[in-house]
Every structure is written in structure tokens, then in C-alpha cells.
A and B are shown apart, each in its own frame.
Chain A
Amino acid sequence: MSNEPLLDVRNLTTVLDLAAGTMPVVDDVSFTVGRGETLGIVGESGSGKSMTANSIIQILPKKIGRIAGGKILFDGRDLSQFSDADLTKVRGREIAMILQDPHTSLNPVYTIGNQVIEALRLDDPRQPKRSLLGKAINVLKKMNVADAERRLHAFPHQMSGGMKQRVVGAIAFSSAPKLIIADEPTTALDVTIQLQYLQLLEGIQKNTGAAIIFITHDLGIVANLCHRLAVMYGGRIIESGTVKDVFAAPSHPYTQALLRSVPSIDTKVYRLYAIEGQPPPLTEEIAGCKFASRCPLATDVCRSHRPDPKPGRSGAVSHEASCWHLGETL
């Protein structure tokens, strides 16, 4: 196995062509994902985290979404240059996806068995369904779907949310993908079910060696599941590094504020830190740092010049943050 990362995204820019103008939803974003590694992408709604992930396999809004620049090197090939036909061979096979809402990602009129087998037949559509039954039961069992034989004949509405999300996971892992993109996979689940699911993902990842991009707004999940993380704000990655480094020495004021604004369950807090204001609309063109309008440390240079990534406070090589005031604490 080579040392180069499985996925190497360089200067990716994705735009939406709207009537109001061209809107960069992913703005010059670079990151890597190593083999078997879990990268957490954290951000608020509209920060571009889902668009970044969707750009990798190019499932962008039809006609209006396009990749305007950059490279997506996956296993040595540049996916941004792929034709749609070539991408079809990658989607669902080498790169699989788990979406947020299991109620909408499964088809309500087909049985679970049908949908698992459909995924298994991607490689050879002429294989008879019957021959794949055993394999289907196996992939469901790997995701701890209780009573897998019987579940094959069940429809999605007959299952709980947690069970459905396991089926979605089983479909994703059925083709032995090299990379799984999990877009808020546990947001629709209850906390005790979420914990079951995350442990399951971790276990399967260890067994299969698949890499995971985990998109979430929940910093707790990132702290417990991911190896590295990238924090996004306004379509840009503003800080990235190993989970340990970033949580121990958050360097960008936004990351610092975010970590301080989440109430802890272990200690009593009398006043939470609150970030004033709200994220700027994506349609607004901002020359400088996108967080400047909400940042207590902002000065003129922040509003006029875009900061480049610089070494973060932990001093670790992989830890970077884009801020003009890295030396100052919020």
C-alpha cells in the first residue's frame, strides 16, 4: 500500500449558478483522508460541509451546481475530470454514502431484501436475486440487524429509525467501499441508539479498513469517533488537525467559541459563551475572513484580506488554522 492518502482534495471550489449570481458554496477547500481514517467535517448549516462531500462524487444540484476549480484525487485518479458514466462506477461501489434521514433514503415500496440485493447486483446486474439472498443476510447481520432472514421481507415502514439506518449502513458497506461519506447519519436517531450505531460503524471500519468522512454539527461525536477534523465556516475550512490537537489547542476564534458555547453535562456552567450574530449569507461577497463580522478579535486586516492557513497553536505539523490573530485568545 502506498503512503499517499486515499483522498486528496486540492483547492476545491464548487459554485451554484443562481439567478442572483454565482455563489461559491465550497471556497478553495483542501483536505486529505488517509486509508482507514475517519475525518470529521464540522460546521453549521450553510457552512458548505455537505456540499464539500457531495462534490467528491459530484451529486450536485442539477444544472446549477458545478465544480469550478480544484482537484479531487481519489486513489490517484482525479474525480473532477471523470465523465458521468465513469463516476457511476465509483458511486456506491468505491465511495458509498449514508445520509441523515433513513426514512427518506430507503424506498418505501420495496422490501429491505430487494434494496440490499439491488446494491449487491451493482457489479453484475444479471446475477439472479436468489443467489444473492445469503449474501444479503450476511451484510445485514454485519450491521447487527436482528432477525435478518425475516427482515428481508419487511418494508421500511415496519422498522424503527435505528434499524432502518442499519439497513442503509449495510447497503453502503455491501460493496466493500474504500470510502464512506456519512452525512449526519445519527442526527435523526435517539441518543442511546446513536451510540449503538456509532460503535457499529467503528467496528465495521476496523474490520474493512474503509475510510470515513463524517459530516456532523455535533462536536461530541467528533471527539469520540474521528481521528482528524476540519472545521468549516462560510464555505471554507478555517481550522484542521488531529482531534486531539484541535480540541486541546483550538486556534481559530470560531473553533474556540464553538467549543465554549456547548453546555457540558459534567460541570455546572452559570453562563454559556455565546457567539453573537449569525453566519453571513453565502450570497454576500466577503474579501476578508468570513468570521470577521462576528469575531471579537477582528481588525481591519480581517475584513480586507483573506487569511491563509498557518500552523495552529498545538505546534503539531498537521494542525492549521486560517486567522490573522492566531496568537490571541478569545
Chain B
Amino acid sequence: MISFLKVENLSKHFPVRTGIFHRKEHIVRAVQDVSFELEEGQTLALVGESGCGKTTLAWMLLKLIEPTSGRFWLNGQDVAELTGPDLRQYRTNVQAVFQDPWASLSPRMRVFDIVAEGLRLNDNLSDGAMTKRVDEALCSVGLRPDDGHKFPHEFSGGQRQRIAIASAIVQRPKLIILDEPVSALDVSIRSQIMNLFKDIQSEFGCSYVVVAHDLGTTRYMADRVAVMYLGSLVEFGSTDKMFDAPEHPYTQALLSAALPIQKSDDKPPIVLRGEVPSPVNPPSGCLFHPRCQSFIGDVCSSNAPNWRKSGSADHWVRCHIGTEWG
């Protein structure tokens, strides 16, 4: 069976120049050898702290930037080989909703034109058919067709994000990349928008790749979670398993740092040492070893851990603990 989205050894390196005359060249390994698969109609969350490469990975999937190496397939098609009309079709099939609806909507365009823009570019629709599609999309996100005549500044943050969602779903995409879709919204609005994403998924059957740093959002939205640290995946698996029994020490620390509303006094939170190292000069061995609370010795600082399968069917961890080393 061909998987819906398959990513294999995807890497993105950025050159940076430093020194007085910018002669010294370094390489930032923003994303390093990332592989995963996603089934149709499912939601994958990319989780990690700022600078871990989750947005860079999302941009590669959107073909906003080209990978340095590695490939990915959508419905069995190698995306790197797409050209001409096929590439246009890919851009229709894969849509995005970004974090900040104040920045992502053009202030000079009416809502109707914002939502219709993609249709104008890619489909040959009559005016009547286009209006129908736009009105349907606006209704699906809880706005009224009349709202199409207004400008973005006439709406609140939550409603603007609804406009951004309408302009993504109007093209009936197969995959929508959500880059921190609720982070800029107020707490009481967030749950409205998260519920809307779920409704749209059950209505249209689209898949999501959601970039998030909020773990509550992740648990609610995602079927599968990929935890990233310093450009690499460290743990990958089903959401429930990940949250109930995280295996990688970094995932454990991340979960423990998310302060729950129901305070549980039995488990003190894991406070990590130091900060995320620079991706220009990443640590040897396991990337996480300088901060790891479960550091077990030389093997961590000298050998990069391989993926190992954890007990349950589809859960993968990259840590020496649990191998013959640990």
C-alpha cells in the first residue's frame, strides 16, 4: 500500500557566514534526516522548542524551500520531480494556515478576493461557480457569505483565522499544514478554532501536519506526534502512547514542563539544565546529551543513537536507554 505522505531522510542545511569579512562559512543543520509517514485523514503534530526545525520542515512540505537532501512523496508521487501542471496541482492539494492572521491576510483585499485568489489561479471556474465555492467555504468556517464584502480589519483575531482557514479549504486540499494555528489567539477563542479544524477534517477528510509547541493542543488535535530536537526527530508514535508513556528523556521533560491545570504533587517537574545548543555547532553523540536528565555515560556523548522500536506497534525512539548500551 502506498502511504499518503512519506518523508525519507529529509534534510535542510543553511549556510551562514560569520567573521569580520563574512568569510567563515558555517552550516546550520536546521533539519537533519527526518523520516516519517502519515496516513490519509490523519493529523501529525510536529512538536519541539523554537529553533528545532519544525517550521523549516513544514516549509519544505509546502515547497516554499527546497530540501538539501532527501525526498518526500504525496500519494506515491515524488514531489521533487513534479513540474508544470503537476506542480500546480500539488500546490492546490497542499495548503497552509499560518500563526498570525494579522500578517497572513492582505489588508487591501476583500475577504471574498482573499478566499477566491487560489481558485482564480488554478481553476477555470465561471463567476457563478466561484462565488458558490467561496460562499460554501465561508459557511464551513462559520462566517456568512455577506462577510466576503468586508476587509480583514473588520474582523477579530479568531474570525481572521477563520478567513485564513476558508482560503485554505476552498481549494479542497488533501493536506493542510497548520503552523502554530492557535498560538496567536486568545484562550477562549482557541477551543473554537481547534474544534473547527476537527469539523473540517471530518467533513472533507483532509490530513493535517500541525506545527505546535503547546502540548495540550497537540494531544487534542493529533493522531501521531513527532518530537523534534535540534533538527532531528527523537521520538515518533501515536499520540496516546506518547503522552501516557513517553520514552525519550527529552519528551519526558517537555511533557513535564507543560504546567497542568490539575496540579499533581506526586511528580516533581523535570527541570532541564542549560539551553538548546546552537545548531551551527551541535553536540557530539546524542544531540540531547548535554541537557539529559537520564544521561548514562560515554555512549551518549560519543555515539549517535539509532532508532529503536518501542514495545507497542508503531512507536519509535532514538535513545540509548533500553538498548544493549543502556
- A residues adjacent to B (C-beta < 8 A): 44-45, 146, 160, 162-163, 190-196, 198-199, 217-221, 223-224, 247, 257-259, 261-266, 268-269, 271-276, 278-279
Contact = CB atoms under 8 A, between A and B. Distances in A.
A221 B257 CA distance: 10
A191 B213 contact: yes
Please list the 3 inter-chain residue pairs (A to B) with the smallest Cβ-Cβ separation, ordered nearest first: A220-B259, A263-B220, A263-B216
Contact of B257 (A195, A269, A273): A195
A264 B218 CA distance: 10
B194 A263 contact: yes
Given A263-B216, A266-B262, 20 more contacts: A44-B188, A160-B275, A190-B213, A191-B257, A192-B253, A192-B272, A194-B257, A195-B257, A195-B259, A195-B271, A195-B272, A217-B187, A220-B261, A224-B260, A259-B261, A263-B219, A263-B220, A264-B260, A269-B219, A278-B188
Given A190-B50, A269-B220, A278-B189, A264 B240 contact: no
A152 to B, nearest CB: 19
B126 to A, nearest CB: 36
8 contacts: A44-B187, A192-B253, A193-B49, A263-B216, A264-B216, A264-B260, A268-B239, A279-B188
Contacts of B254: 191-192
Nearest to B194: A272
A278 B194 CA distance: 15
A262 B192 CA distance: 11
A218 B217 CA distance: 13
B258 A220 contact: yes
Range of interface residues on B (Cβ < 8 Å) = 35 or more
A258 B271 contact: no
A219 B259 CA distance: 9
Interface in B181-223: 186-192, 194-195, 198, 213, 215-220
Q: Which of B50, B220, B259, B263 has the most CB of A within 10 A?
A: B259
A193 B189 CA distance: 26
Given A195-B271, A265-B219, A265-B260, A275 B188 contact: yes
Contacts of A199: 271
Contacts of A261: 187-188, 190-191
Nearest to A225: B259
B43 to A, nearest CB: 13
Contact of B269 (A195, A269, A272): A195
Contacts of A218: 259
A192 B82 CA distance: 40
A247 B259 CA distance: 14
A274 B195 contact: yes
